[in-house]
Chain A
Amino acid sequence: MRYFEYFVGPQHVGVTGNMSYHLWADGDEIKKMITSVGYLHRGFEKLMEYREWVKNVPMVPRICVPEPDVNEVLYAMGVEELSGLVPSERAQYIRVLVLEMARLSAFLFYFAGAAGALGLYTIPQWTIGDRDYILDRFEELTGGRAYHIYTTPGGVRRDLPDGFKSRVQETMNYLKKRLIDYDRLMFENAIIVKRTKGIGIIEKDYAMNMGVTGPNLRASGIKADVRKDDHYLVYDKLDFDVPVVGDGDIFSRIMQRRLEFDESIKIIEQVLEMMPDGGFIEKLPNPIEWKVPAGDVYVKLESSKGEFGYYIVSNGEEKPYRIHVRGPSYTHGIQVAQEKIVGMRIADVAPFLFSLDVCPPDIER
């Protein structure tokens, strides 16, 4: 039997970032797929072993490009747990603020990709344009648009600028207003619903066994969220829901993010209200030659894509002995996508892959 063989990526509009899929199709039906990754492999884990603890702070955000802050916070959390450093309460609130803003911006990116894959080109124009307002807030707070390099072991590098809270609130109000437009155009759009409902279903048990995490897992009907189950920072003091859509198809994965978008806005508003005064950083004894006590720790948090985790091993020296980064897309992008795409039609490949929110840099590091 001969199949029609074709490639998606790396130079292609239908992939998220720089990765490629090798597909075999029988007529219109996909028979097999192989994910090819490694286009972005920089060897972070190796490079970090060569650098002192603080020098790794600018390195880590590069691991996940659309949502860099999770890496900064995770790295800081891991190092803090190893060294017994406790960041101030205010710093923890600021971190939550940064994480949730990053989640919003990643979701807006996701909507753009998912809608673009379905041919709805107005949504990318809107969501990415609106995402820029979040980036403006980031720029004010952290000094960078894409890479913030803001969280560091001990706290955060700068305090909130004057009047920042009210400007974040304005941005949130603007986004809330815009969500009505997005709903009308995308989530209530009969064509989108028709194209995505009942396609690319990831079943509940399969999702659990295959290490699917985050919104993709919740879209399959399991209520699990690292923010609640393995709460970190000050998430246990915040009031938010974990929505579960539960059908496991493309539409529920898109809808899952849409519902979580509301929750994140809710969290940001609470953080703005509850943020205490106080110091924003607990300075390290020495920026360069600081040693972290020996030990190992696995820290994880909920990113917009799923469970992001750092396994950090220290042998008591100035440099980490080993850092293993567990990116959420690792499972989604390779094995799950390869297995679940079989039987799908060619036209559904791009929406399916986009719905998984695969981010190649965090697979490859």
Chain B
Amino acid sequence: MGLFKFSRSRSLWMMHFCTGCGAIEMPPTMTSRYDMERFGIIPMATPRQSDLLLVTGYLTVKTLKRVVRSYEQMAEPKYVIAFGSCTMRGGMYWDSYNTVKELDLYIPVDIYINGCMPRPEAIIDAFIKLRDMIDKGEANAWKNYRDNLDWYKQNQAKVFDINKWSAKI
């Protein structure tokens, strides 16, 4: 099992989905100046091949729907890193009528990064933390989602139009 964990933690493929303004610090992290490929993290086009979902900032209801879809399409084990203030308690958009305030009501989150926006160094710091957590077997938020699916679905249904969104997977 140790080998699996080791391999997993060193070839995290990240889903290419820029959900909010945090996406602006992703290109510098991906490219030559900070070069996250040093840690085996590369962007991946489809959810089915990726291990890691970065929620880079606030989520509008419309995006959250796509994020939940994408998250459910990802193969387990899967990890979520939430960027910035907005994913914790709404951030700057705490009174906006169109953004969700607490991401972990809708999908489980492994690591939060502070900042608005987090610097590339902070993002890499979170990657390393996640890597260590996977090595130790602590990054189990995805299991939480499987175990408490009903609760998550309930919360999701609260913000989505129930007629257009089926509570089943």
Given contacts A42-B98, A65-B23, contact A13 B43 (CB under 8 A): yes
**Least distance between B25 CB and chain A CB atoms (Å):** 6
**Interface contact A131-B28, CB-CB below 8 Å:** yes
Contact partners of B66 in chain A: CB under 8 A:
10-11, 39
Let me know if A50 is at the binding interface, CB within 8 A: yes
CA gap between A160 and B100 in the complex, in Å: 38
Contact of A135 among B19, B28, B43, B62 (CB under 8 A): B28
Given contacts A10-B66, A11-B70, contact A43 B96 (CB under 8 A): yes
Q: For the side of the interface on A, what is the size category?
A: 20 to 34
Given contacts A10-B17, A38-B62, contact A62 B92 (CB under 8 A): yes
**Least distance between B86 CB and chain A CB atoms (Å):** 9
Let me know if B147 is at the binding interface, CB within 8 A: no
Please name the residue on chain B nearest to A64 by beta carbon: B21
Contact partners of A17 in chain B: CB under 8 A:
18, 23
Given contacts A11-B16, A18-B18, A66-B24, contact A125 B31 (CB under 8 A): yes
**Interface contact B28-A132, CB-CB below 8 Å:** yes
Please name the residue on chain B nearest to A146 by beta carbon: B117
Let me know if A22 is at the binding interface, CB within 8 A: no
**Interface contact A126-B97, CB-CB below 8 Å:** no
Contact of A109 among B27, B47, B60, B96 (CB under 8 A): B27
Contact of B92 among A11, A40, A59, A128 (CB under 8 A): A59
Number of interface residues of B (CB under 8 A): 35
**Least distance between A55 CB and chain B CB atoms (Å):** 11
Let me know if A176 is at the binding interface, CB within 8 A: no
Please name the residue on chain A nearest to B21 by beta carbon: A65
Contact partners of A62 in chain B: CB under 8 A:
21, 92
Contact of B98 among A43, A129, A131 (CB under 8 A): A43
Q: Which 10 A-B pairs have the closest CB atoms?
A: A129-B32, A11-B17, A128-B31, A132-B33, A39-B63, A65-B21, A146-B117, A129-B33, A125-B32, A128-B27
Chain A interface residues (CB < 8 Å from chain B): 10-13, 17-18, 38-43, 46-47, 50, 58-59, 62, 65-66, 109, 112, 124-126, 128-129, 131-132, 135, 145-147, 361
Chain B interface residues (CB < 8 Å from chain A): 15-21, 23-25, 27-28, 30-33, 43, 45, 47, 58, 60, 62-63, 66, 70, 92-93, 95-99, 116-117, 119
A to B CB contacts below 8 Å, 23 in the list: A10-B66, A11-B16, A11-B17, A11-B66, A11-B70, A13-B16, A18-B17, A18-B20, A39-B62, A40-B63, A41-B98, A42-B60, A43-B93, A43-B97, A58-B92, A65-B21, A124-B27, A128-B30, A128-B33, A129-B32, A129-B33, A132-B33, A147-B21
